[in-house]
Amino acid sequence: MDINARIYVAGHRGLVGSALVRRLEAEGANNLILRTHQELELTNQNEVEQFFHAEKPEYVFLAAAQVGGIHANSTYPARFIHDNLAIQTNVIHNAWKQGTKKLLFLGSSCIYPRDCPQPIKEEYLMTGPLEPTNESYAIAKIAGLKMCQAYRKQYGFETICAMPTNLYGPGDNFDPENSHVVPGLIRRFHEAKLENAPEVVIWGSGEPLRELLHVDDLADALLLLMRHYDDEAIVNVGTGREVSISRLASLIAETTDYQGNMHFDTSRPDGTQRKLLDTPWLSARNWTAKIDLPFGLAETYRSFCNDFRLPAGRGTCE
């Protein structure tokens, strides 16, 4: 990939997209194509068709998606499957139609069966039932990667598919209802600290294990893939390290300086018990994640303090 080529980052204001922009700009990219949600509605077929016809990007990072945690996936399954199918279909088809040289599709580790052997190998895809709490999102992502493979097979369109583990970092979604586990806990512990709340309630037992990847490490891996990978097989991206939800909550309590107690609500779902990814392609190239969890959590909390607008009267980060 020529760093000076016309590179379109779909979803550039999101967690992954913003990290990609930071990394591309650090590499010297000076011809990035960026559109906000207000400027380009990716679920609208006509708008996407007109955009690709006018801009003709040479490389596309498809990082735009409708995402959320257990609560959001369980509450809005129709939105998750509809919007993600529409975004993927519009972007992949029009990128091929307008002669894009290469497209990277970003999937998710939730595409794998709920009860996979660990660590999860790429070939385990579609070998068992999905986790029910994020089934709609997972099915949409599976459809996206299969669409990429189909366009490669039928049209020779150079598409590649990366499947990252659980992500966190600056630019995350800290919404109390629709966020993933790290930003959701950061906000919850921060507000509990401000309110001197005696305890923080956490969904589930605290026992499930999560592999957490800082989004800047993901951006590094995605550039490596865009430059050096060209095959239909999906590629896992992870750290090889796990942390329990209870340990993660303790780390976030320390990060936010919350002094109260934690209560695990076992009436709420745990979600998948483990999702540790096997990463043979990256390991063979000696790629490893560089940002450790305590440092990454502290950076994410600073991002929350600096960028997130708390409701009036809720105080500020200290």
User: Is 107 assigned a ligand-binding role in the annotation?
Assistant: yes
Is 203 annotated to bind ligand?
yes
Q: Is 270 annotated as a binding residue?
A: yes
Alpha helices in the chain (DSSP H): 15-27, 45-55, 70-75, 77-97, 135-155, 181-195, 215-228, 245-256, 280-284, 293-307
Confirm if 282 and 235 have CB atoms less than 8 A apart. Answer: yes
The dihedral through the CA atoms of 223, 245, 187, 111 has a sign that is positive
Could you give the dihedral angle defined by the CA atoms of residues 11, 30, 281 and 143, in that order, rounded to the nearest 10 degrees?
30
Q: Would residue 229 show up in a list of annotated catalytic residues for this protein?
A: no
Does the annotation flag 244 for ligand binding?
no
Query: Whose structure tokens read 């006018």?
Result: 54
Q: Consult the annotation and say whether 164 binds a ligand.
A: yes
DSSP three-state, residue 294: helix
| Cβ count within 10 A of residue 59 | 23
13 is in an annotated binding site: yes
Q: Is 309 known as a binding-site position? A: no
Which residue among 137, 151, 229, 258 is the active-site one?
137
Read off the tokens for 25: 């700009």
Q: Is residue 14 marked as binding? A: yes
Residue 184's alpha-carbon distances to 107, 236, 282, in angstroms, are 21, 25, 30
Residue 217 is assigned to a ligand binding site:
no
What is the rounded distance in angstroms from the CA atom of residue 102 to the CA atom of residue 59?
Answer: 5
Residue 136 marked in a binding site: no
- Pull the structure tokens for residue 267: 């009436």
- Is 12 marked within a binding site? yes
Does 106 appear as a known binding residue?
yes
The answer to whether 9 touches 32, Cβ cutoff 8 Å, is yes
Please indicate if the annotation marks 117 as binding a ligand: no
Q: Is 206 annotated among the ligand-binding residues?
A: no
| Span between the terminal Cα atoms of the chain, in Å | 43
Q: Annotation-wise, does 43 bind a ligand?
A: no
Catalytic residues: 137
Annotated binding residues, written as ranges, equal 11-17, 106-109, 141, 164-167, 180, 188, 203, 210, 270
Annotated binding site for NADP(+): 11-17, 106-109, 141, 164-167, 180
Give binding residues for substrate as ranges.
Answer: 188, 203, 210, 270
